[in-house]
Structure 1
Amino acid sequence: MTEATTEFFPGFGGAQLALHRLGAGRPVVLLHGLFSSAEVNWIKFGTAAKLVEAGFECLMPDLRVHGHSAAPHDPAAYPQDVLVRDLEALVAHLGLTDFDLVGFSLGSRTAARAVIGGMRPRKLVLSGMGLEGLAGWARRQDFFLDVINRFGTIKRDDPAYFSQQFLKTMGVDRLAARMLLGTMADTDPAELSAITMPTQVLCGDQDNDNGSAERLAEALPDATLTFIPGTHMSCVTRPEMGERLAEFLA
């Protein structure tokens, strides 16, 4: 299989955002998780390759402040729902009218907010996400702000230790990350009624990081609940991630 190619497109405010592409066929946009990247969530462990084998072109942006994308320090670069604005910019840049949309964790949050705002993919996948990760985001936000505030001092026996180490490994710009975290508001569960397309809620069977996947599936008009092995961090490394995505989207 050919290697993914990388190009850049202008997001909100002209920020240069990286887009990684793999395969040819029906377009599917894949949005990675917080402090991660398209490479780590979708390419490294073969998830994108499985979708390519199933006949899809994988369009995988690095979200603002992540991967190869810009991490501006100007507060004006961080309005509410800026990641949704960046996603809208990507869809417009590529001229997409008929596509599927997949998110993991923060990517799921972004995808759900985009659909509530009017985006209409054919099918939607919300992975690594539960109802509380959308409706109770402020609690998760406070957790990550605490990791940033105590960065470099968190000991191994602290629940925040692994988040600190992931932040360090990924080389995330902590000043930009702090501003990005402030752009995300809670989602009223009643707003989920706007997500009318077929939706897969896909979650690791040991993943409770973003609350209850069951409750999220119940709150959506047309949802399929699917579990794969793993925790929040490990489920994206599993072959089942790509397999279940390909089955649902095909």
Structure 2
Amino acid sequence: MTDVRTDFLPGFGGARLAVHRMGEGRPVLLLHGLFSSAQVNWIKFGHAQKLVDAGFEAIMPDLRAHGQSEGPHDPAAYPADVLVRDALVLVEQLRLTDYDLGGFSLGSRTAVRSVLAGLAPRRLILGGMGIEGLGNWARRSAFFVDAIDRYDTIKHGDPAFVARSFMRTQKVDLVAARLLLQSVDDTPPEALAGVNMSTLVVCGVDDHDNGSAPALADALPNACYVEIPGTHMSSVTEKAMGDAMAAFLSE
């Protein structure tokens, strides 16, 4: 496997963000999902390596309050759309001008909102996301806030058990995660007209966590949909994810 290079850069407001890089070539900025990390979403199951093998450089930050990045406990460090603000700051610091952008789940939400905030990647990848998932964040975040608040009492059979187990595996900072969950904003369907670059919507056949991925592809001005095996949790472990990403970016 290609070596991973890790730097630490200041995000919005100075929070220290870990940025992992693999390969040389055209940059692809990849944003991971909630409670995950660059290592889990992009490196562990070979997706970044497939991009490297196709001639790209994978640039993979750990989002604020995730992985090796800082998770401040000061509420002031989590203004509205703070992950979008971090993405804009990183693109500027990395001097990315001709690049591609991708995300999975929360990373996809962040990627869409970053484009609407001014980022202009050549191509966009939205993994594990449906059209309903871009809006109604209050309902989805409430589920995770509840899981954090009941963290020590959740038992097998509780709908929050899987989320709690994943948070435990990833050693999530519960205070920082709770603050972050309250900083994410919605994207209404009518705003998608502003996301007009060529876009890949890729989603597991049994992944319905964020609504309809085909409907999201239909709502975007210039998108295609690729279905891969898996649920929301398992689709990122499928080699088909990396294959679809590399094929799309290499077109």
2:68 aligns with 68
Deviation at 1:2, TM superposition (A): 2.7
2:79–2:183 Cα contact (<8 Å) kept: yes
SS at structure 1 position matched to 2:202? strand
Matched residue type, 2:30: L
Deviation at 1:57, TM superposition (A): 0.2
Deviation at 1:7, TM superposition (A): 0.7
Rounded Cα–Cα distance in structure 1 between residues aligned with 2:2 and 2:181: 35
2:161 aligns with 161
SS at structure 2 position matched to 1:226? strand
Query: Do residues 187 (structure 1) and 184 (structure 2) align?
Result: no
1:134 aligns with 134
Structure 2 residue runs of 5 or longer lacking an equivalent are none
Matched residue type, 2:134: L
SS at structure 1 position matched to 2:186? coil
SS at structure 2 position matched to 1:27? strand
1:27 aligns with 27
2:2–2:49 Cα contact (<8 Å) kept: no
Aligned positions of 1:49-60 closer than 5 A: 49-60=49-60
TM-score (norm 1): 0.99
Q: CA-atom RMSD, angstroms? A: 0.7
Deviation at 1:187, TM superposition (A): 1.2
Query: Do residues 2 (structure 1) and 2 (structure 2) align?
Result: yes
Rounded Cα–Cα distance in structure 2 between residues aligned with 1:178 and 1:141: 9
Structure 1 residue runs of 5 or longer lacking an equivalent are none
**Cα deviations by residue, 1:192-235 (Å, 9 ceiling, x for unpaired):** 11000000110000000111101111111011011100000111
SS at structure 2 position matched to 1:157? coil
1:108 aligns with 108
Moved over 4 A (4+): none
Rounded Cα–Cα distance in structure 1 between residues aligned with 2:174 and 2:21: 27
SS at structure 1 position matched to 2:36? coil
Matched residue type, 1:210: N
Q: How many residues are treated as equivalent by the alignment?
A: 250
SS at structure 2 position matched to 1:200? strand
Rounded Cα–Cα distance in structure 1 between residues aligned with 2:135 and 2:53: 35
**Cα deviations by residue, 1:160-202 (Å, 9 ceiling, x for unpaired):** 1110000011111111111101111221111111000000110
2:172 aligns with 172
Query: Do residues 199 (structure 1) and 185 (structure 2) align?
Result: no
Rounded Cα–Cα distance in structure 1 between residues aligned with 2:231 and 2:76: 36
SS at structure 2 position matched to 1:101? strand
1:242 aligns with 242
Rounded Cα–Cα distance in structure 1 between residues aligned with 2:223 and 2:110: 18
Matched residue type, 2:28: V
Rounded Cα–Cα distance in structure 2 between residues aligned with 1:244 and 1:152: 39
